[in-house]
Amino acid sequence: GDSVTQMEGPVTLSEEAFLTINCTYTATGYPSLFWYVQYPGEGLQLLLKATKADDKGSNKGFEATYRKETTSFHLEKGSVQVSDSAVYFCALRRSSASKIIFGSGTRLSIRP
């Protein structure tokens, strides 16, 4: 069945460091891919998405490129801030289904 695998956390970085959170997926067809972020005590917020191969999603300095050949959708940011501390979820949804399948989440902590 469909699945999403993302790197284990927690990830701890210093402010202004470069961030990569790896995400790979298994799915038939051409799913849409998403990154969601969850701040402490809150629900999920859509961070960015990509709906077809080679699409790049971007928002708030975060980017991820839909790589069909490597079935990956890695999240990157050039310079992280303390306010980026949160849990990040990679997710997919197949075009023929409506449910979202989430990865296990990666907790990110940024030190000032």
Partner 1 sequence: KAGVTQTPRYLIKTRGQQVTLSCSPISGHRSVSWYQQTPGQGLQFLFEYFSETQRNKGNFPGRFSGRQFSNSRSEMNVSTLELGDSALYLCASRPGGTTSSTDTQYFGPGTRLTVL
* Count of residues in contact with partner 1, rule CB under 8 A: 25
The DSSP H or E segment spanning 52 is none
Shortest distance, position 44 Cβ to partner 1, whole Å:
4
- The C-alpha atoms of residue 31 and residue 10 are separated, in whole angstroms, by 27
Q: Which two tokens stand for residue 35?
A: 């990154």
CB atoms within 10 A of CB 91: 22
CB of 17 to partner 1, least distance (A): 26
Collapsing DSSP to helix, strand or coil, 17 comes out as coil
Give the contact letters, 7-36, x = binds to partner 1 (CB under 8 A), - = no: ------------------------xx---x
If the CB atoms of residues 25 and 36 are measured against partner 1, the closer one turns out to be: 36
Question: Among residue numbers 41 through 100, which ones bind partner 1 (CB under 8 A)?
Answer: 41-46, 49, 51, 89, 93-100
Q: How many angstroms separate the Cα of 34 from the Cα of each of 16, 23, 71, 82, 95?
A: 24, 10, 13, 23, 13
Of 42 and 69, the one with the shorter C-beta distance to partner 1 is 42
Degrees to nearest 5, angle at CA 31 with 45 and 9: 50
Please, which residue, 41 or 112, has the CB nearer to partner 1?
Answer: 41
Judged by the rule CB under 8 A, the positions of this chain that interact with partner 1 are: 31-32, 36, 41-46, 49, 51, 89, 93-105
